[in-house]
Amino acid sequence: MADTAENPLISLSQAMAERARLARFLVAGIAVPGHRMRSGTLWRKDVVVASEQRFPDAGDAQVTMADGSAFTARVAGRDPGTNVVALTLDGSPDPAPLPAGEPQPGGLALALGADDAGISVRLGVIRSVGPSWHSRAGGRIDRRITLDIGVTRSEEGGPVLDPGGGLFGISTLGPRGRVLVIPASTVETVLEPLLSKGRVERGWLGLALQPVLVPEALQAEAGQSQGLMVMSVSKDGPAAQANLHTGDILVKIAGESVTSPTAVAQYLGPDSVGKQVELHLIRADKPFSTAVIVGIRPDR
């Protein structure tokens, strides 16, 4: 047998275990009566963040930290847009802020969580790293980070760390069970409005759009071959007040061509609320412009 100090697998294993041990204090086990255990991340003193999807709509929750200390927590705010729910509690330890981790595809990541058995630790590689993206619920997430790690519904919401101790963000179950990371910077961005207002306000037009091919005869007029057809208009919403109709084809917003849902989402961030934007459409085979005052996206 080789000396353990020279066996790289043993050193790796020991380093991983040490990393997990040091990060345990961040993991919050969240118990809501009548619901399965779930995980959260102690983000700062008296604030725990967790995954918003399927988080029970309940008053109080019991939060248990790795050292066994328990707190009564209350939901301070939830943001389906970035999948972050913030809970506040009284008298938690003050976690030293962790440096932001810099994710690299193929680099190692540790995902921590809590379940009925206590703290869980999972190891894998960062599967992919991409630019910012928009969720179906309207939020902008700073980077698209996917992990080659599986987490359960109980474990999602726990911290995801790099081997050096940096924090990537919190784990989230994405489409087809793939695990995403909501980056720490995105959590930081939504945390203030969640704590002060209970929600994150984003822009709303009050219409449903579908990508379409602009009929050939109109492509020259529109200056583009693709647009977004209005499939429905919410009664009394901003689009209805701007006189938009089902069947109109949206081709430009504020003079910029829009052909995809993501292009539209760019104009509907938190800063857009209350602002006027110019819409260019094709209606009944003719160009048509109108201005809409961006409203506040209603909660689900």
Partner 1 sequence: MSAPAAAVSDRLRVAVLASNAAAQDRLATLVAQCGHQLVEATASPDAVLTDGTADAVLPAAAVALGAVAGEFAGWLPPDAGAAQVDAALRAVAAGLTVRATPLASRNFDSLPEEPPVLLTPREIEVLGALGNGMTNKEVARLLGISPHTVKFHIESLFRKLGAASRAEAVAKGIRQQIVEF
Rounded CA-CA distance 172/165 in Å is: 20
66 vs 190, beta carbon nearer partner 1: 190
Q: Among 243, 267, 270, which residue's Cα sits nearest to residue 257?
A: 267
Rounded CA-CA distance 252/228 in Å is: 9
Does 260 interact with partner 1 (rule: CB under 8 A)? yes
Q: Which of 39, 41, 92, 135 binds partner 1 (CB under 8 A)?
A: 135
20 vs 279, beta carbon nearer partner 1: 279
118 vs 223, beta carbon nearer partner 1: 223
Does 120 interact with partner 1 (rule: CB under 8 A)? no
Q: Which of 30, 89, 114, 264 binds partner 1 (CB under 8 A)?
A: 264
Does 54 interact with partner 1 (rule: CB under 8 A)? yes
Rounded CA-CA distance 133/266 in Å is: 10
Give residues 34-53 in contact with partner 1 (rule: CB under 8 A).
51, 53
Q: Which residues contact 167 (CB under 8 A, 6 or more apart)?
A: 98, 99, 100, 101, 159, 160, 161, 184
Does 137 interact with partner 1 (rule: CB under 8 A)? yes
Rounded CA-CA distance 23/95 in Å is: 10
Q: Which of 99, 261, 271, 293 binds partner 1 (CB under 8 A)?
A: 261
DSSP 210: E
47 vs 170, beta carbon nearer partner 1: 170
19 vs 270, beta carbon nearer partner 1: 270
CB 242 within 8 A of CB 277: no
Does 276 interact with partner 1 (rule: CB under 8 A)? no
Does 83 interact with partner 1 (rule: CB under 8 A)? yes
| Site track 200-219 with partner 1 (rule: CB under 8 A), x = hit | ----xxxxxxxxxxxx----
Rounded CA-CA distance 167/97 in Å is: 9
Rounded CA-CA distance 182/159 in Å is: 10
Q: Which of 229, 242, 251, 277 binds partner 1 (CB under 8 A)?
A: 229
Does 262 interact with partner 1 (rule: CB under 8 A)? yes
CA distances from 169 to 37, 157, 188, 238, 297 (A): 20, 9, 10, 35, 26
Contact positions toward partner 1, by CB under 8 A?
51, 53-54, 83, 133-138, 144, 172-177, 180, 204-215, 226, 229, 231, 247, 249, 259-262, 264-265, 268
